[in-house]
Structure 1
């Protein structure tokens, strides 16, 4: 019996991973962790361990003890914060018995700072780069980027903290943060032209299995609705970026299509994303690919992807006759 540990199982990405793993191999022993003892993911794991925050000094020792106690074969981080901690502490985990589903360290580092990624794309003369700026007054940025333009956190995810600048007053309220915290970009296309592409990189520059979804976002930045789609011109951009960044394992690339039909990269998430459970429903199971790649040392085959529409909704998880799991 193989044991897989998933962190952050209270989040949609974490408990989605548990469901995908169970579908891929019902014999797996699933260990879930979360900082909250009432995390929803407890319903889909065999063992649950409440975790300290990664910022706490005791986290490293706690993690090693849990891995040893449950004889974990594969650790998959289920939230972005855990990806960053695990990447920063790769040396600590080299002595552990388990494999860790982590992407290329350089790609992870670039993904932490959108300006760093922008500069990497600029150095590559990559056409999918969105013009970006760290300085300038309102009038200079208006002339360069048009109105409205966007102020975007350099470090962040799920469209959190975005500021739409329609007029000088909008800019003035955030001008002091431009550079260190925020970067300025033009608004590309519309919300109806947003696409998310999953690849499973081999670390050598190949895309591996892929799936593309055209999506609309919920208020929290996650995918609310998605349609499976295919576009050869987008596939070419994705292949070019994979050759450049050489992702390892599950990787998510987000794009918008500009008014002129060109593709512009919003960000690269070097991890499984919260849309993973939707992808699984259409035949693209990233969790199963992780088992093949990290434990069986096999290159995942192309997925038999179905077409269709996905709509997310809220569902209740009920535990009767007690007030705890």
Structure 2
């Protein structure tokens, strides 16, 4: 099967490619990214350069690649590309006879905005940290004690996140963060978790949870917890949200209750870690949508996974092939 993976330079895109390579299924991987130095481009069977997702020509270039390669499935490897594929899903699938595994636009919009995430959770009476916009700080201060977390409404990997312990730090952080949301800081870093949920036809088919340690906003140590006590609740939240394919929930546990502070409507950087533990959600979803295989019940091992830096060597002629591929695409269009 041919699988096109976008964002081959992102942790997420690289994790998708790793998961495909770990599978027994013999995949032909097509990787795309704006930067010829993106590591995932060199792990693929075929690679292309594309413009940034914010560039007006992005979708046109992707369409040229779809026309040429005709992949069975498209997997999205960065947050900034999700909405483009969600909004154009039906047209792209029809024109190029492919499947795009992506949630509906309204789900992506909720997940991309920390305040909309909070409003969704609160409206459905799911546990989450108390939160406020700057206009609601006075009420939040009456309801909660310090510390608080100040973060951008949109963002990832802890960029722009501030832990504040008093009002002086609070207002200083508010002056530094554009479009902020303020949340109570629940539990502690030793009780932080991430869960991958697979949803199909409105039903949560699988939930795999791990406790994690963070570094620079990314998981660098993970501890798989088979049959975690919050998995049923996470499945219920995923079904209420209405996602398609992969969802990711991040939360801290306080007095046995998982308080969710972030939702991602996509695969996550911990996706290959779940594959190591025995549940390869990327492989299962591709096989499900292309071959009609059922998504198995997770049978994961209680293992610890430690991440580390690695290196790869790239020769000058390898860099040149991306320019050649781009020239070829332009010639096909002409």
Q: By the TM > 0.5 criterion, same fold? A: yes
Structure 2 counterpart of 1:227: 223
Distance 2:319 2:213 in 1: 35
Map of 1:218 onto structure 2? 215
Describe the SS at the equivalent of 1:81.
helix
What is the alpha-carbon distance in structure 1 between the residues aligned to residue 103 and residue 200 of structure 2?
10
196, 199, 202: which one aligns with 1:198:
196
C-alpha separation between the residues in 1 aligned to 2:185 and 2:46? 45
SS across alignment from 2:222:
strand
The 5 Å alignment of 1:61-76 reads: 61-76=60-75
| Alignment partner, residue 113 of structure 2 | 113
Q: The residue matched to 2:181 in structure 1 has which SS?
A: strand
Identify, as 1 or 2, the structure richer in helix: 2
Which stretch has the larger CA shift, 298-307 or 30-39?
Answer: 298-307
Q: Residues 177, 16 of structure 1: CA spacing in aligned structure 2 closer, same or farther, 3 A cutoff?
A: closer
2:280 is matched with 285
Deviation, 1:16, is 2.2
Q: For the structure 1 residues 298 and 104, does the alpha-carbon distance in structure 2 shift closer, same or farther, using more than 3 Å as the test?
A: farther
Which runs of structure 2 are paired with 1:72-87 in the superposition (5 Å)? 72-87=71-86
Contact 2:129 2:185 (C-alpha < 8 Å) held by counterparts? no
Q: State the match for 1:209 in structure 2.
A: 206
- Structure 1 length-normalised TM: 0.91
- Supply the RMSD in Å over aligned alpha carbons: 2.2
- 1:138-149 to 2 correspondence within 5 Å? 141-149=140-148
Residue in structure 2 matched with residue 153 of structure 1 by the alignment: 152
- SS class of match (1:226): strand
The match for 1:304 is 299
Counterparts of 2:201 and 2:239 in 1: how far apart (Å)? 9
Deviates more, 1:165-174 or 1:93-102: 165-174
Deviation sequence 1:177-216 (CA, Å, 0-9, x none)? 78x7111111010011011111111132x32122111001
Equivalent positions of 1:43-58 (< 5 A) are 43-58=42-57
* Structure 1: unaligned runs, 5 residues or longer: none
Partner SS, residue 152 of structure 1: strand
- CA change 1:288–1:120 in 2 (3 A) is same
Q: Does 1:272 align with 2:267?
A: yes
SS state of the match for residue 307, structure 1?
Answer: coil
Contact persistence 2:144–2:184 (CA under 8 A) = yes
Q: Which runs of 5+ in 2 are unaligned?
A: 321-334
Ranges of 4+ aligned residues in structure 1 off by more than 6 Å = none
**How far apart, in 1, do the equivalents of 2:98 and 2:43 lie?**
21
Q: Which residue of structure 2 aligns with residue 40 of structure 1? A: 39
Q: 1:321 to 1:49 in 2, by over 3 A?
A: closer
| Alpha-carbon offset, residue 47 of structure 1 | 0.6
- Give how far 1:175 is off: 3.6
More deviation, 194-203/80-89: 80-89
